C-alpha cells in the first residue's frame, strides 16, 4: 500500500517522551473513568416493553422476537443495512467492517447475552452474504417488522439495540446508531493507538499526516474484508 508518511515526527529523548506520555495518560485515565460512569448510567436507564411475539424470519422459518434470545436473558441485535438485489460488492461497507470482527461469542454468552444480526433485507439473499463472508453469528431478517422494532428511528441505518427478557416479556434497554456502533469494532480502537491513527480526513492530526482514507471501509471498490473471500474462491452470488 502506497501511503505518504511525511513529514517525519519529531524525535526526542526517553525522559521527555515518558513525561509527555504520563501527561496524556492522566487524560486517558479520566476518559476511562468517564466511560465507566456513562456505562453505569446506561445500566440505570428505564426500559420500554416491546412485543415479544414480533416476527422475524430465521433459518427455520418465522420466529418471535423472544426466541432469538436462544434461552438467554439479554440480546444484542445488530440491525444490518441491506440493499436488495445489489451484488455483494455494493452491500454496506460499514456493517461488513463491524460484523467481520464478530467471531468468538463465548465470552458474551458467558454473561447470559446473545449476539445476533437482524438484517433489514430479505432473509435468503442476506444469508448468502453471511455465508460468503464466512460469518457464524445467528442471522434473521427483520424486514417485515422494522417499523415496530425501530419505531421512531431511521429504518435503513445501522443500529445496535439491546434487549432484556423477563419471563415471556421483552424490554428494550438501549440503542445506538452511526458512530455508536463502533462498540462492535476493535480495528479503529487499535488504529487510534498508533501515531498516524485512522488515516481519515476528519481526524485532528498534524499537517502532512496521511489522511487518504475518506472511505475507510472499502478497498478497490468493495468492502475491504471481501477480498480475502474472493481470493479463497467463495461465491459472492446473492441471487441464487
Helix/strand/coil (H, E, C) string of the chain? CCCCCCCCCCCCCHHHHHHHHHHHHHHHHHHHHHHHHHHHHHHCCCCEEECCCCEEEECCEEEEHHHHHCCCCEEEEEEECCCCCCCHHHCCHHHHHHHCCCCCCHHHHHCCEEEEEEECCCHHHHHHHHHHHCCCCCEEECHHHHHHHCCCCCCCCCEEEEEEEECCEEEEEEEEEHHHHHHHCCHHHHHCCCCCCCCCCCCCCCCCCCCCCCCCCEECCEECCHHHHHHCCCCCCCCC
**What b-and-e string marks burial along 198-234, b requiring 16 or more CB atoms within 10 Å of the CB?**
bbbeeeebeeebbeebeebbbeeebbbbbeebeeeee
What is the reported pTM?
A: 0.92
Would you place residue 115 in the very low, low, confident or very high pLDDT band (cuts 50, 70, 90)? very high
Distances (CA, A) of 136 to 18, 20, 105, 127: 43, 44, 10, 10
Would you place residue 203 in the very low, low, confident or very high pLDDT band (cuts 50, 70, 90)? confident
Distances (CA, A) of 115 to 75, 148, 161, 225: 6, 20, 10, 20
User: Quick check: bond before 7 cis, omega within 30?
Assistant: yes
What class does CATH assign to 42-240?
Answer: alpha beta
Mean pLDDT lowest among 12-21, 49-58, 84-93, 198-207: 198-207
pLDDT at 110 exceeding the cut of 60: yes
pLDDT of residue 73: 98
CA 200 to chain centre: 18
pLDDT at 91 exceeding the cut of 70: yes
Q: What percent of the chain has pLDDT over 70?
A: 96
CB 124 within 8 A of CB 238: no
Amino acid at each position: 500500500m502506497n501511503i505518504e508518511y511525511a513529514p517525519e515526527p519529531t524525535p526526542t529523548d526517553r525522559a521527555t517522551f515518558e513525561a509527555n506520555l504520563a501527561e496524556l495518560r492522566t487524560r486517558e485515565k479520566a476518559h476511562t473513568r468517564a466511560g465507566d460512569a456513562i456505562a453505569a448510567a446506561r445500566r440505570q436507564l428505564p426500559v420500554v416493553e416491546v412485543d415479544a411475539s414480533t416476527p422475524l424470519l430465521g433459518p427455520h422459518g418465522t420466529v418471535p422476537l423472544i426466541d432469538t434470545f436462544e434461552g438467554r436473558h439479554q440480546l444484542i441485535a445488530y440491525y444490518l443495512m441491506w440493499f436488495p438485489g445489489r451484488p455483494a460488492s455494493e452491500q454496506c461497507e460499514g456493517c461488513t467492517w463491524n460484523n467481520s470482527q464478530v467471531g468468538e461469542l463465548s465470552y458474551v454468552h458467558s454473561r447470559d447475552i446473545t449476539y445476533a444480526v437482524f438484517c433489514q433485507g430479505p432473509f435468503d439473499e442476506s444469508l448468502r452474504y453471511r455465508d460468503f463472508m464466512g460469518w457464524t453469528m445467528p442471522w434473521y431478517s427483520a424486514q417485515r417488522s422494522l417499523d415496530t422494532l425501530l419505531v421512531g428511528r431511521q429504518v435503513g441505518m445501522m443500529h445496535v439495540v439491546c434487549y432484556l427478557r423477563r419471563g415471556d416479556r421483552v424490554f428494550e434497554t438501549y440503542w445506538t446508531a452511526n458512530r455508536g456502533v463502533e462498540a462492535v469494532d476493535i480495528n479503529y480502537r487499535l488504529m487510534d493507538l498508533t501515531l498516524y491513527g485512522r488515516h481519515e480526513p476528519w481526524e485532528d492530526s498534524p499537517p502532512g499526516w496521511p489522511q487518504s482514507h475518506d472511505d475507510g471501509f472499502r478497498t478497490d471498490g468493495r468492502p475491504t474484508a471481501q477480498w480475502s473471500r474472493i481470493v479463497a474462491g467463495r461465491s459472492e452470488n446473492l441471487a441464487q
